[in-house]
Amino acid sequence: MDFRTREGRGPKGVTILEVHHLNKRFGGLQAVGDVSFFVQQGSIKALIGPNGAGKTTLFNLLSGILPPDSGTVRFSNANIQGLQPYQVAAKGMSRTFQHIRLFTHMTALENIMIGRHMHSRAGFLAGMLSLPWTRREEKAVRERSLAIMDFLGIADFADTEATSLAYGQQRILELGRALACDPKLLLLDEPAAGLNMRETAEMAKLISRIRDTGITVLLVEHDMSLVMNISDEIVVLSYGHKIADDKPLAIQKNPEVIKVYLGEEDA
C-alpha cells in the first residue's frame, strides 16, 4: 500500500494555519501573549524558545486542549479556537506530546489503530452485534496501521506492549499514532526529547520524509541541530511573546534571538 497517496493536501504555497493575536493567561502569568504567525502548506515550521516561553501552551491552544483567552486560529478554512481536541483532530490536525502519552495495556499496533478512529464508523450497536462490515473495517484499519509502522520502521514491534518499547521507539510510535489520523498538519511537541544523537538524526530524517508526503509539520524542539537542519521557517518565543519569525539562517543572525536564546545553546 503506497503510504504516500493522500487527498486534500493542496498545492504548496498556500497558508494552512493562521494564528492571530493568541492570548492565554494563567492567573498572573501571561503564558502566551499576542502571538501571531502563519504556516505554509507543505513546510516544516519550528517553534523554539527557552523553557517557559509558552511553546507547549501554544500547542495546547492550537490543538484544543486549552481555550485561548482571545485571538483566532484559522485552520482548514475554519476558525478552530475553542474547539474540543477531537473536533480539531477531525479537521485534520493531530499531535504528539512532550511527555509520551501512549495507551498503556495496549500493543503498539493497537495504539496506532486508535489513530484510525476518525476514519472508521463502527458504533455501539454494530460493535455489539459484530456485524460483518465491522470486521472488514477492522481489517482495513489494521492493514493501514501496519503500513504506517512499516513506513516508520517499527513494524517488528506490532504486537509488543507499547510501554515496554525502548524510549526512542515509543517516540516513533507516538508519531505513528498521530500519522494514522491522516493529518494535514502535524504538531510535534519535542519529538527528539530524550533521544541520543543518532536517534535525533533519524527522527530528523523521518520528519523530512513525512513532510515529503505532503503533510505540513509544526514542531516544538530544543535540539538546534534538528531544528536548523530541517525547518523551512522558525518562530522564536520568549516569555510568551514572539520575538522572531524567519528562515533558519536569519534566525541564527537575529540579535534578539541570540540575546535571549541561542547564546546559551551548544549547536
Partner 1 sequence: MRSRYAPVAFFIAVVIAVQFLTLIIDRPQYLTQLTMAGYYSLVIIGLCMLIGYAGQISLGHAGFFAIGGYISAFLTTYDLMPHKGNALAGIVAKAGLLVTVQDLYGGDALVFHPWIACIAAICVTVLIAYVIGGPVLKLKGHYLAMATLGFGTIVYKLVLGTTFFGAADGLSDIPGFKLLPGLEVSGKNSARIQNYYISWGMVALGMLLLANLIHSRVGSALRAIHSAEDAANAMGVNTGRYKLNIFVLSAVFAAVGGIFLTHYNGGIGPSEASIMKSVRYVAIVAIGGMANLWGALSMGIVLNFLSLRGYFGSYDDTVFGVILILIMLFAPEGLLRREVFRNAKKWISGRGKAEGQKA
Residues of the shown chain interacting with partner 1 in the complex, contacts defined by CB under 8 A: 63-65, 84-86, 88-90, 94-95, 97, 101-106, 110, 113-115, 117-118, 120-124, 126-130, 134-135, 137-138, 141, 177-178, 180-181
- Per-position DSSP letters for 188-248, written without gaps between them: EESTTTT--HHHHHHHHHHHHHHHHTT-EEEEE---HHHHHHH-SEEEEEETTEEEEEE-H
- Least CB distance from residue 175 to partner 1, whole Å? 13
- Least CB distance from residue 162 to partner 1, whole Å? 9
Pull the grid cell for residue 69. 483567552
Q: Which is nearer to partner 1, 187 or 206 (CB)?
A: 187
Q: Which is nearer to partner 1, 65 or 158 (CB)?
A: 65
Q: Which is nearer to partner 1, 182 or 245 (CB)?
A: 182
- Least CB distance from residue 119 to partner 1, whole Å? 9
Q: Which is nearer to partner 1, 188 or 227 (CB)?
A: 188
Q: Are 47 and 218 in contact (CB under 8 A)?
A: yes
Number of Cβ within a 10 Å radius of residue 229: 16
Whole-angstrom distance, CA of residue 36 vs CA of residue 18: 8
Of the candidates 187, 166, 184, 165, the one whose C-alpha atom is nearest the C-alpha of residue 175 is 187
φ, ψ for residue 130, nearest 5 deg:
50, 50
- Least CB distance from residue 164 to partner 1, whole Å? 14
Q: Which is nearer to partner 1, 127 or 153 (CB)?
A: 127
Of the candidates 195, 188, 201, the one whose C-alpha atom is nearest the C-alpha of residue 166 is 195
Task: Report CA 216 to chain centroid distance, whole Å.
Answer: 9
- Least CB distance from residue 197 to partner 1, whole Å? 28
- Least CB distance from residue 117 to partner 1, whole Å? 5
Q: Which is nearer to partner 1, 102 or 207 (CB)?
A: 102
DSSP letter, residue 8: S
